[in-house]
Structure 1
Amino acid sequence: MKISEMTAKLLVLRGIEDPGDADLFLHPGKVSFHKPMSMLGMKKVSDRVKQAVSDNQPIRIFGDYDADGVTSTALLFRALKKIGADVSYYIPNRFKDGYGPNAAAVEKAQEDGIGLIVTVDSGIAAFEAAEKAKSLGIDYIITDHHEPPESLPDAYAILNPKQRGCDYPFKGLSGAGVALKLVQNLCDEDQFDEDWLALAAIGTIADLVPLRNENRLIAYSGLEKISVGSLPGIDALKAKAGHPGPVDSEVVGFQMAPRLNAAGRLTDAVPAIRLLLSDDAAESADLADQLESLNQKRKKMVDQVSEEADAIAAEYIRRGDRALVLAGNGWHQGVIGIAASRIVEKYYRPVILLSIDEEKGVAKGSGRSINGFNLYQGLTESAGHLIQFGGHQMAAGLSLRADSIDAFRDDFVQNAARVITDEMMIHGLSVDGECQPDQVTAEQVDQLAMLAPFGTDNPRPVFQMRQVRLAKINSIGRDKAHLKVSFIGTDGELDGIGFRLGKAADRISINDPISVIGECQINEWNGFRKPQFLIEDVRVDGPQVFDWRAERELREKLNGLPTESSSVLAFHSETARRYAADDTAVLYHSGMTFGKPALILLDLPDRKEQLSELIRSNPLVNRFYVVFAHDSDHYFSAFPTRKHFIWYYALIKREHSFKLDQMAGEIARFKGWSQRTVFFMTKVFFELGFVKIEDGVLTVNPVPSKAPLTDSDTYRKEKNQLELEDFFCYSSISTLKSWFIEMKKSREQAIEPEGKINGL
């Protein structure tokens, strides 16, 4: 298969340079699963399970309440049933039992006559449960994928590709992935149900393990099954998520998995596991409805906690905290982790949310971090304030006394401030390469789709387009929340869409090339397939000039600008009163500065130098909205030339004296001038002392002083106004922008020598 240069570069970025490896990556169906028996402990575990089946010894699966945990449980349960086992399951309740296997559950298993316990997606650090099982004579098998501690629980056997001494060729399996390997080894070819791959795929994608190597094959194979229809419970879940047809990893990760997780977050995971074990379509539909209801409730709780936490965060943001510790009474512990992620996304700094139980005087929390700050290490440095904590670099859980929250916050924030720089608090986007509008074709997008399934360690490709010109730009959708553009290519135009970027439309001039970061997509509508660019971020280099000189709804435009980022300037008070509501405009004075990026110029300055000085002294302003309103259009009035003045003065000398109003009309009709022109020249002569005017009668001065026309204030102001209108009101927008850029550059050039001296 011939691939494009764009696709080839992406493969190289992913460490795939060999043509054979590239072919397997682009065609996961050609790849084979690793042999299960190469995993340390597989033979011992399989033999013990088969013995239990042969002896009709009851087996209990200890699962977990998240999506990886319930899919692992369902996968192993179905397989054990298929080979004839007497099997049951136990999943801990997040609020009553905490995380992982516990001694009480082991004791209950012994009461129920269980002879073998097999954990999935948990147990590698549950020492107490393993010890209890041994003391009660129950064989205890651990299957897990989490990082093992230095010493392992005293179990009958352990399956974990990360444990010391395991030569399994891939270490990144999820809990469902480890369960799949056990199932592959337990079941003969005619016993293995291909639909079980759907369960393994959901667990793999939901647990954010790297979608490389065997995980890629699991996700690819499982997504194929989910897309065409698999187990009744998964079909019902998919339908409830609004995707009856083909699905990808994003549908699983962001729509199906959250519904499975909702049960364990709010109550317990029983509805989720029952759904995955159901073989009845009607029952599956009812259980999917239950999960949908729980998920909607979960969303509302997340919204509520996020809103309350955000209100608290504002105070700490104002004081400059580089990490946030936010506490609230009764925040639901099942959703504070999601809410913490939202606050991180908004402020991009580590966030810990604490839910206070006033009766017990204890707060339990969940934290999320940013790149560069190890949250677990940060908690370790403040451990003196905590009852317990655990986690890793990006996420953690903790508990502490409620009366220790303030002391913990101060200590944690101070420790974080020593590590977190200004650059770390900027949320950057990783870009895979650059492209131009003409490269984004339907064929190219289809080829990029062969890199799927996308997820951890194999992200969806992100590209940058630099300095692209626009044919169209506007905001669309409800409340004009989204940005819609058309990029101009060499051979045609390319549509671009930026969700939740609608406000950018008012900050981008169609005359300016823009740079964008985003993804290449296919927009399918009514059977038509058209490429488009999904914009994630947009930038305009240099100053922008927006042409509002002919804007008819100026007041509405002004009212629509965000006051937190824009200023309205008037050079004359009457203009401010006329156009700017509620005294929102500020009047010009020399040396004024603006701390906002957008500046609306309502009217013309008295002198060009006023505006150039304003631009040079305000480096933060990079968007100029030019209105340049003016009372009378001097530009379209004929400005008298020197010959006009000579002819008129000769007439005055010949006539010596005349009534001005009467003569002005006759002169205007005779010469084809406007009366305004006649009165203007008369005023210039009066200011220069060439004539006298008394009671409406003009008389020539017999002994006038010699003076050029430019000595007249009226002449200078009128000529200056004409030049201002000529340039600012009737120049093209590109000419205006060039002048604004020149003014900006002149400031930079003016301060450059000082910078060089400082550099020395």
Structure 2
Amino acid sequence: MEYKWMIREKADSEAVKTLSKEINVNSILANMLVNRDVDTFQKAKDFFRPDLDKLHDPMLMQDMDKAVERLERSIENNEKILVYGDYDVDGTTSVAMMYGYLSQIYDKVDFYIPDRYKEGYGISEKGVRFAAENGYSLIVSLDCGIKAIEKVKLGKELGVDFIICDHHTPGEELPPAVAILDPKRKDCKYPYKELSGCGVGFKLVQAMAAKRGEDSSKVMGYLDLLAISIAADIVPITGENRIFAFYGIERINNNPRPGIKALMLRSRIEKELEISDIVFKIGPRINASGRLEHAKASVELLISKDLEDALARAEIVDTVNAARKNFDENITKEALSMIESMEIEKKTTVLFKEDWHKGVIGIVASRCIEKYYRPTIILTESNNKATGSARSVFDFDIYEAISECSDLLEQFGGHKYAAGLTMSVDKVPAFQKKFEEVVSSRISDIHMKPVLEIDDEILLDQVNYKFYNILKQMAPFGPGNPEPIFCLKQVFAENVRILKDKHLRFNVVQDGIDTKPICIAFGMADKTIFPDEIIYKMLLRKMRFDLAFEIRENTFRNNSTLQLYVKDIKFD
């Protein structure tokens, strides 16, 4: 995939100069921070030293008082409580957290995860009826429910109240729940709007603990689950989420709960865990059971109190994840073949095949975007309906585009970059046509090519440990605080080698500078730049190029060096 490089504009020079002096960093670092809206000494202090005391009061969230009151009344009246969550990572971590907390203070609590294939996304009729038939008078829903108007009405008819904890965008009408906790509500004045579903649930746990006079350390024990939800659900790691992620990852690295420890061992994570490890190793394993079988297995793993038991459960989840990879690869090949056979050039990809596995279509949509960069929806048949997952491209709001097609849909939900939708099978052709029209009218050329955002151009001798050690303190990285990417101009390569038939390793050289760090270019050994020209051969000929990269530390046999992880190479 060819990237368009976008080097960030230089921040206000006076602001950069002032910040550089106040916090004693060079102008490159100060410029990066100002571009991340860290432009004062106090903001820099908050950024580099996240503080749990800076968390917002949970009672600022609309309906929080009602939620706490209803939970307390349930406990006083000896009612049965059902914790209900979605089957993805955000949902299962939310359920593990809420069930873990409530079951410590009350013994009439259980949890429920809907079956992806039999019930679909969100609150299901089957789930509501299960609660009523089994004597549950209160459902606490997590990471779902904000649009479940009819299901919540059914609950009221059957004597089941709802407390909804969600972070998705509400519709015009809200469900008739006892309490709806969602910072994206128009009438909610909670200061931070980008919480994960688990984050909203955490605020309820915070409020409950405060009401009961419990030590806050008890609540902070759930930050590990919250950090996993933040990373896996790809919410911005800014503001309150940055504090949660910072301390959650610290907890995972120092004292992981048995379920997370087991997942780390299965994932062969032997260094300090980072956000990227959650995104690419931990998250997919937690997700796997809900994609192919039932997400209850993931919750049971996360709430396990014994490492031996957790290891056995993690092995099962790992086996399911391996099967998921096979489905993912095979369906992706089919989908790409379908796109290649299309004769008309389009701004969108909307594919439907009735026998594709519902559990991996979101992954397949992302894979298709890697090859054909445009808003993509992959649909399959489930319960006699066409159901699908949508993924977007840089800075294009796919949720809004889908909303414009709502007259053809039975259900949809999500956010700017990812969404889910359901429609009648016979509506698929009409949806394909209308979605293409809507996107074509909204999307611009800048959206149709992947953008590589580069923080700054630097010189090779500026890559040193003093510089790197400050970069490390900017973690955790993610949306809103991306891992820094730099570029070098007009360099060439020495000692070029191919690793494992697919990766490149070389030393990068810049005129007049002695240091020649090692570069690792994953998957670029056979990458073609021009017709019949691959990167490997061009590097061997010492052709000049511009290099975009991240700085990483590599440790081998107790010897640590800085390496450049290549993001892209552009030749003259």
TM-score between the two structures when normalised by the length of structure 1: 0.67
Change (3 A) 1:243 1:29: farther
What is the rounded CA distance, in whole Å, between the counterparts of 2:372 and 2:564 in structure 1? 27
Q: How far off its partner does 1:214 sit? A: 0.8
The 5 A counterparts of 1:490-501 are 490-501=513-524
Change (3 A) 1:420 1:173: closer
Question: For 1:278, what is the secondary structure of its paired residue?
Answer: coil
What is the rounded CA distance, in whole Å, between the counterparts of 1:115 and 1:407 in structure 2? 42
Q: Is 1:353 matched up with 2:384?
A: no
What is the rounded CA distance, in whole Å, between the counterparts of 1:151 and 1:385 in structure 2? 19
Q: Is 1:442 matched up with 2:465?
A: yes
Gaps of 5+ in 1: 542-760
Which residue is equivalent to 1:136? Answer: 158
What is the rounded CA distance, in whole Å, between the counterparts of 1:47 and 1:395 in structure 2? 34
The 5 A counterparts of 1:560-709 are none
Alpha-carbon deviations, 1:8-56, whole Å to 9, x = none? 1111010111112102201214753222222222222222222322333
What is the rounded CA distance, in whole Å, between the counterparts of 1:87 and 1:136 in structure 2? 19
Partner letter of residue 351 of structure 1? T
Q: How far off its partner does 1:136 sit? A: 2.7
Percentage of matched positions with identical amino acids? 36
TM-score between the two structures when normalised by the length of structure 2: 0.88
Partner letter of residue 562 of structure 2? P
Q: How far off its partner does 1:299 sit? A: 0.8
Change (3 A) 1:126 1:416: closer
Which residue is equivalent to 1:299? Answer: 325
- Count of matched residue pairs: 537
Change (3 A) 1:284 1:437: same
Q: Which structure has the higher relative contact order (CA within 8 Å, separation 6+)?
A: 2
What is the rounded CA distance, in whole Å, between the counterparts of 1:151 and 1:382 in structure 2? 18
What is the rounded CA distance, in whole Å, between the counterparts of 2:295 and 2:260 in structure 1? 15
The 5 A counterparts of 1:248-397 are 248-316=274-342, 319-356=344-381, 360=384, 363-371=386-394, 373-379=396-402, 389-397=412-420
Q: How far off its partner does 1:392 sit? A: 4.4
Q: CA RMSD in A?
A: 2.4
Q: Is 1:231 matched up with 2:257?
A: yes
Which residue is equivalent to 1:16? Answer: 38
Q: How far off its partner does 1:414 sit? A: 5.5
Partner letter of residue 318 of structure 2? E
Which residue is equivalent to 1:203? Answer: 229
Question: For 1:110, what is the secondary structure of its paired residue?
Answer: helix
What is the rounded CA distance, in whole Å, between the counterparts of 2:394 and 2:159 in structure 1? 46
What is the rounded CA distance, in whole Å, between the counterparts of 2:566 and 2:75 in structure 1? 55
1:73–1:89 Cα contact (<8 Å) kept: yes
What is the rounded CA distance, in whole Å, between the counterparts of 1:41 and 1:408 in structure 2? 37
Instruction: Work out which of the two has the higher radius of gyration on C-alpha atoms and give 1 or 2.
Output: 1
Gaps of 5+ in 2: 1-22, 527-534
Q: How far off its partner does 1:336 sit? A: 1.1
What is the rounded CA distance, in whole Å, between the counterparts of 2:146 and 2:436 in structure 1? 32
Deviates more, 1:447-456 or 1:39-48: 39-48
2:228–2:278 Cα contact (<8 Å) kept: yes
Alpha-carbon deviations, 1:528-576, whole Å to 9, x = none? 12112111111122xxxxxxxxxxxxxxxxxxxxxxxxxxxxxxxxxxx
What is the rounded CA distance, in whole Å, between the counterparts of 2:196 and 2:66 in structure 1? 21
Which residue is equivalent to 1:528? Answer: 559
Change (3 A) 1:114 1:397: closer
2:237–2:480 Cα contact (<8 Å) kept: yes
Change (3 A) 1:452 1:136: same
Q: How far off its partner does 1:387 sit? A: 5.8
Partner letter of residue 284 of structure 2? P
Q: Is 1:74 matched up with 2:96?
A: yes
Q: Is 1:90 matched up with 2:112?
A: yes
The 5 A counterparts of 1:75-224 are 75-187=97-209, 188-189=214-215, 192=218, 194-224=220-250
Change (3 A) 1:59 1:331: same
What is the rounded CA distance, in whole Å, between the counterparts of 1:384 and 1:47 in structure 2? 39
Change (3 A) 1:74 1:348: same
Which residue is equivalent to 1:433? Answer: 456
2:507–2:516 Cα contact (<8 Å) kept: no
Q: How far off its partner does 1:172 sit? A: 1.2
What is the rounded CA distance, in whole Å, between the counterparts of 1:128 and 1:403 in structure 2? 24
Q: How far off its partner does 1:399 sit? A: 4.3
Question: For 1:515, what is the secondary structure of its paired residue?
Answer: strand
What is the rounded CA distance, in whole Å, between the counterparts of 2:39 and 2:337 in structure 1? 50
Which residue is equivalent to 1:46? Answer: 68
Q: How far off its partner does 1:211 sit? A: 0.6
Change (3 A) 1:249 1:328: same
Change (3 A) 1:203 1:255: same
Question: For 2:387, what is the secondary structure of its paired residue?
Answer: strand
Q: How far off its partner does 1:261 sit? A: 0.8
Which residue is equivalent to 2:485? Answer: 462
Question: For 1:451, what is the secondary structure of its paired residue?
Answer: coil
Q: How far off its partner does 1:385 sit? A: 6.1
Alpha-carbon deviations, 1:151-185, whole Å to 9, x = none? 21111122222223322221111111111111122
Deviation above 6 Å: which 4+ runs of structure 1?
none
Q: How far off its partner does 1:463 sit? A: 1.0
What is the rounded CA distance, in whole Å, between the counterparts of 1:132 and 1:324 in structure 2? 37
Q: How far off its partner does 1:505 sit? A: 1.6
What is the rounded CA distance, in whole Å, between the counterparts of 2:400 and 2:219 in structure 1? 44
